[in-house]
Amino acid sequence: MKKLGLILGVLNTVAIAAVLGVFVYTKIVFKHPAITEEKERAKLSAHATQIESDGKHFMVPVDPITVNLDPFTGADGKQKVHYATVSLTFELRSEKDSGRFDTVKPVVMDRVIQNLGKKKFEDLNQVQGRYLLRSQIVDAANEYLGEPIVAEVYLSDFLLQ
């Protein structure tokens, strides 16, 4: 019986040490790389030059959308709700892709709304957060389309409240 208690005590100690180790690593030791405007611009330009294009890009404007952002609880204990109103313009690689994009535009816009709804006010209130949002929208659209049709997304109007 004493051996069983000793074994369980050792296993419990090892499990607690492992959980604490993971917590310390993820919260204190590991630092996420900073998102900078230069890095995001370099990534976007590398992405644009990676894919061949005929040089004639085509713009597809989208109606403005208003999305509830991820709510958070303030210091006073009340839930704070913020909204984002966004007007997007998609830049397609060529005009021949516009018909295909128009047929899937509702699905792409649904993904945009889902992506925006997961964002926090503080993230979108910074330049880095908006660059990250733009690259995520391009990636999500091209992932759904199955090929890199969308070259860029432009935020023509961007209002947070």
For the stretch 29-46, pLDDT in tens is: 777 677 777 777 777 666
Instruction: Using DSSP, state whether 160 is helix, strand or coil.
Output: strand
Domain 37-160 grouped into CATH 3.30.479: yes
CA distances from 53 to 42, 56, 61, 93, 125 (A): 18, 7, 20, 6, 33
For the stretch 73-125, pLDDT in tens is: 777 778 888 888 999 999 988 888 888 888 888 998 999 898 888 888 888 88
Helices (H), the chain: 2-24, 37-50, 98-117, 121-124, 127-145
Residue in this structure with the two tokens 């607690």, named with its chain if needed = 16
Q: Which residue has the higher pLDDT, 72 or 66?
A: 66
Total residues found in the chain within this entry: 161
pLDDT value at position 13?
93
Cα–Cα dist 152/161, whole Å: 25
**Verdict on whether the full-model pTM lies above 0.85:** no
Please report which confidence band the pLDDT of residue 16 belongs to, taking 50, 70 and 90 as the band edges: very high
Give me the residue spans of the domains in the chain: 1-31, 37-160
